Amino acid sequence: MPTLTPTWASDQSPIPDPHGRAERMLRFVDILRHPASEAGDRRPLPHRWQRRIIERIYGPSDEMGERQVRTVFMLLPRGARKTTLTAALALGHTMGPAQRPRGQVIVAASQRSQAREAFDEAAAMRMQDARLVAASHLTEAKNRIRHERSGSTYVAISADGDAQHGKTVSFLHADELHVWSGYGLWNALRTGASKTASSLTIITTTAGERSQGVCWDLYKYALRVLADPGRDPSFLPVIFQADEKAEWLDEKLWHAVNPGLSAGFPDLAALRSEAMQAREIPALAAGFRQTHLNIWGDGTASGWIEAAVYDQGAAEIDPDELMGRRCAVAVDMSRTYDMTGIVAAFSDDDGGYTVQAFAFLPETAFKRRSAAAPEYDWQGWRDSGALTVMPGDIIPEDVIEAKVRELHGLYGAVAIGFDPKFAGRIMGRLHADGLPALECPQTPAHLAPMYVEMQRAMISRRFRHGGAPVLRHAVLNAVPRTFENNLFFLSKTRSSAAIDVAVACGMAIGLTSAPAAEPSYFEADDFDADLLVLG
């Protein structure tokens, strides 16, 4: 994913405003004063990129003359004053130019304290203007501002508060959506907004620690709209996000995705200090990338593996050098939508492993996954041969069996492990021909030690994968569920991701690392039955 910034937020491109909605909203926010502002006039939103966002939200109209934008997905790093922007707009919908009679303006967050923080920002700006104070009433205990003449209300709510079904929302600010649990509050509020003509929903958030939930799903939708604006003109993506493969310590990158950094928010010196610590502590690096660069978490914060560490094993692999090494093959089978992964793992002299990964997907599933998750390079994987796409709806068993036999013929696998769910017939045929096929039950007790061994190799930089992109995708999308004794089980938390190749890799490494079975004394050539003492 390349670094993303909305070019229209800083360029000179015209933004239509045929009905003057954006002009009126800008005039309103310019009368507001922020109590913490250090600018001469204390305007809350003086910067060009802030004002261009307002112009882009309120200016364009559809063929009926209605405001075109109904939903805004704003991915901005921490410290970009997202709350100030949305608080000013919320006041504009409560008692300003976008106000509606008896309108319901809501700021919603996962917790009451977070919702109250956003509400307090608007309340503080209201208190700076005697006209706004006279025109409205503030009820502290209920986190509510009421505009007396119109009956419009601005209120802060949270998921841990009262049920929100039945509300008719004219303006919704969904704050830090990445920490919302489940879809309950979101669905209730969005259903309410749908009841109101020309309602506006603004989502402000940083990237999440894990790529899951309502925020992740809306982020993926925002990427699809960004790639094809005609798909949904009512949905406005405003995404400031760094390329996950870029050098995250590069200050030019910080400036690119933090539009307020040159103006002092966030503070550059503080950012540098935080980066110095993060350079040495992987968990802090994951947090820095997530909150300041909007790079979605990849499992690092959960104790699995940092992407930069994983990538150190990407040097090209010479297959000829693998001949004669101890090898095991593992297969994670699937039928339709899931991917099938085959991995051969080889023991290295330094106690690590070299792996070869192969991935298979039916054509129907390939099309569905490509459409559902365009942020992943599905077509590139196919074109490079990293992903084999089979015609139709299923992966034929004979294709998988042929690949397994090919690998065994080349390297003489000591074991061929299968997720037994769909592999019964293949295992039967391999057994009949004398190949060492065996079941690998997909349980934490069986797989957790294998995953731990795989992680040990990755962290010690003794895991060589040759840069296989589908394996990388699988490893970084897998999230560990931790048990006692530091054991963990890999879980897929991203509905569009495929961790099957990572599962197969863990199985293959586990089988390769298992000690070779000692021959039984009773099977030895020098066994002498007369030496037995019975009875």
DSSP per-residue codes, 212-245: -HHHHHHHHHHHHHHH-GGG-TTEEEEE-B--TT
CATH fold for domain 317-513 = Nucleotidyltransferase; domain 5 (3.30.420)
Q: Hey, what are 250's tokens?
A: 């590069």
At 526, the pLDDT band (50, 70, 90 cuts) reads low
Q: Hey, what are 380's tokens?
A: 């590139």
Residues present in the chain in total: 535
State how far the Cα of 55 lies from the Cα of 26, in Å rounded to an integer. 8
Into which CATH architecture does domain 7-239 fall?
Answer: 3-Layer(aba) Sandwich (3.40)
State how far the Cα of 24 lies from the Cα of 39, in Å rounded to an integer. 22
Higher pLDDT, 36 or 463: 463
Residue 114 has pLDDT above 90, yes or no: no
Cα-based distances in Å from 344 to 6, 234, 249, 288: 43, 48, 35, 35
Across the chain, what does the average pLDDT equal? 87
Hey, where are the domains in the chain? Answer: 7-239, 317-513
- The pLDDT, as a whole number, for residue 533 is 45
- The pLDDT, as a whole number, for residue 419 is 87
Q: Hey, what are 196's tokens?
A: 């109101």
At 480, the pLDDT band (50, 70, 90 cuts) reads confident
- The pLDDT, as a whole number, for residue 298 is 53
- The pLDDT, as a whole number, for residue 531 is 45
Residue 83 has pLDDT above 90, yes or no: yes
At 519, the pLDDT band (50, 70, 90 cuts) reads very low
Give the containing element (helix H, strand E) for 257.
helix 251-257
Model confidence pLDDT, tens digit, residues 124-172: 999 999 999 999 999 988 889 999 999 999 999 887 555 454 467 899 9
At 115, the pLDDT band (50, 70, 90 cuts) reads confident
Percentage, residues of the chain above pLDDT 70: 89
Provide the whole-model pTM. Answer: 0.64
State how far the Cα of 531 lies from the Cα of 148, in Å rounded to an integer. 103
